[in-house]
Chains A and B, each alone.
Chain A
Amino acid sequence: MFARSAIATRSAAPALNVIGQTRNMATLKEIQNRLKSITNISKITASMKMIASTKVTRAQRAMKVARIYGNVSCDFIEQAEVKKADGAKELVVVVSSDKGLCSGIHSSLSRHTRKYLADYPEAPVAIIGDKAKSQIQRVFAQNMTYSFNQIGSTIPAFDETSAIASVIISDKSIEFDNIKLVYNKFASAIAFETSEIECFPASQIVEAPGFKSYEVQEEILENLNEFLFANNLHWALVEGHAAEMAAKRTAMENATKNAGDIIQRLTLQYNRGRQTVITNELIEIITGASAL
């Protein structure tokens, strides 16, 4: 009560300044409201960081397995030295997710894809995850073939992967030779890199120099190729998920830290303002008393 009436009478008087700090008509009440809302926000970001950290440990364990699985699957491709054909048409599959608040994960994927599409504007694109879809659709809506959502909240399981792979492969209307998987590689707990995995068509596998030493029945070649694609897709999905969880954790950690900084700054401002008010009231009382 005292403080409010003091402010009302003091609005015309010049505010007492600490060097370099002006209050710009922000009243103590407004600072208090800001403090309350930012404290709530920092609680939310702190809990999101905790959730993300538990998800990161689990996602990293799954990623280790998926990486080995993918490498075992690709071992044959490397040993046979399968190469990309000149002028091969690529289908770009972008592996992102539906959830945001993970710093540059989705925008890095869309930037990479857009750069590729600038060189090959005819390339068909399939997008997994709503976040990348909204970014790419703005500029390259005509290239989009399929988009998938409801991915990314949990560690991807192989049945999800094979469902996605089946849809992409069974649509014979899309023309492509190779498939390029664009995903985020988990570099460390605080860094990720957008990378690609190349999937070759059965025709290129047959042409590979190392392939002639393998004894294989022709009719399983197509099945093998689909299986290899599903394995690569699974690897990309799981590693992308791990990269996203790690990025979310660092993003929330930074957000909490920043919120903490703002809270400190505002608290100082609030206290100085409060002390100024009290000082002025005391001055008034004392001058009033001495005038008597």
Chain B
Amino acid sequence: MSFLARTFKPAAAFARVSRQAATRLYASEASAASSGKLVLNFALPHQIVLSSKEVNQVDLSAVSGDLGILADHVPTIEQLKPGVIDIIADSGAEKYFVSGGFAIMNPNSVLNINAIEAFKLEDIDAQAVASQLAESQRLAASAKDELTKEAAAIEIELYEAIQTALSTKAH
């Protein structure tokens, strides 16, 4: 599936394993409470998934951990790892699997998500994922150089995350 192939390059660009001690910069002041909903902008380079949509809650899977964003959440910047974004609006809930990107929550209750690829869970073919995962595992085992090994490791992480997402949805 070509969409999976396309997530690697951006993922590879971020693949810097940081060995620094984790430091967290906390917000110095709470943002002024403004009544109203959470406004979501969800953009991909080739498609705008959602633009200025009012939602109730967005669940993200970030590198620092999973979190749920509600209206007037503290402004935060999160790097997304391959996983599911759950968007809960009055009209219902939608789940998208994203390959990676960033989610930025702004003080004006606007949540901006830039991702590279996103697909609804029902659009993903489980068989293809399984076969691609096997392929990547084989590649990771047999790879000679560091770069191929690292690329294969990223692929494995991605496919396993998709499988987890698909299996949790089935329950």
A residues in contact (CB < 8 Å) with B: 62, 65-66, 68-69, 72-73, 75-76, 79, 157-159, 161-163, 165-166, 169, 210, 212-220, 222-224, 226-227, 230-231, 234
Contacts and interface: CB of A to CB of B under 8 A. Distances in A.
B46 A157 contact: yes
A213 B10 contact: no
Chain A contact residues: helix, strand, loop or mixed: helix
20 contacts: A68-B48, A69-B114, A73-B112, A76-B106, A79-B106, A79-B107, A158-B116, A159-B10, A162-B10, A165-B13, A213-B28, A213-B29, A214-B27, A214-B75, A215-B25, A217-B23, A220-B63, A220-B79, A223-B14, A227-B101
B112 A75 contact: yes
B31 interface: yes
Contacts of B24: 215-218
A226 B110 CA distance: 22
B78 to A, nearest CB: 8
B77 interface: yes
Contacts of B43: 65, 68-69, 72-73
Interface in B1-32: 6, 9-10, 12-14, 16, 18, 20, 22-29, 31
Nearest to A79: B106
B83 to A, nearest CB: 16
A72 B13 contact: no
B44 interface: yes
What is the interface residue range for chain B against chain A?
35 or more
A219 B14 CA distance: 11
B47 interface: yes
Given A75-B104, A162-B13, A230-B10, A217 B45 contact: no
Given A69-B43, A223-B16, 9 more contacts: A65-B43, A65-B45, A68-B41, A76-B77, A162-B9, A215-B75, A215-B77, A217-B24, A217-B25
Contacts of B116: 158
B58 interface: no
A116 B18 CA distance: 37
Contacts of B45: 65-66, 69, 157-158, 161, 231, 234
Contact of B26 (A162, A215, A224, A231): A215
Interface of B: 6, 9-10, 12-14, 16, 18, 20, 22-29, 31, 41, 43-48, 51, 63-64, 74-79, 101-102, 104, 106-108, 110, 112-114, 116
Given A158-B116, A215-B24, A62 B46 contact: yes
Contacts of B20: 218-219
Given A69-B48, A166-B13, A220-B63, A214 B79 contact: no
A243 B5 CA distance: 29
Contacts of A165: 13
Contacts of B64: 217, 220
Nearest to A210: B107
A165 B108 CA distance: 30
Q: Top 3 closest A-B pairs, CB basis? A: A158-B45, A216-B77, A215-B76
Given A73-B112, A165-B13, A218-B23, A213 B75 contact: yes
B9 A224 contact: no
Contacts of A69: 43-45, 48, 114
A62 B75 CA distance: 30
Contacts of A219: 18, 20, 22-23
B23 A76 contact: no
Contact of A230 (B13, B16, B28, B113): B13
A161 B14 CA distance: 14
Nearest to A218: B23
Interface centre among B24, B47, B77, B79 (most CB of A within 10 A): B77
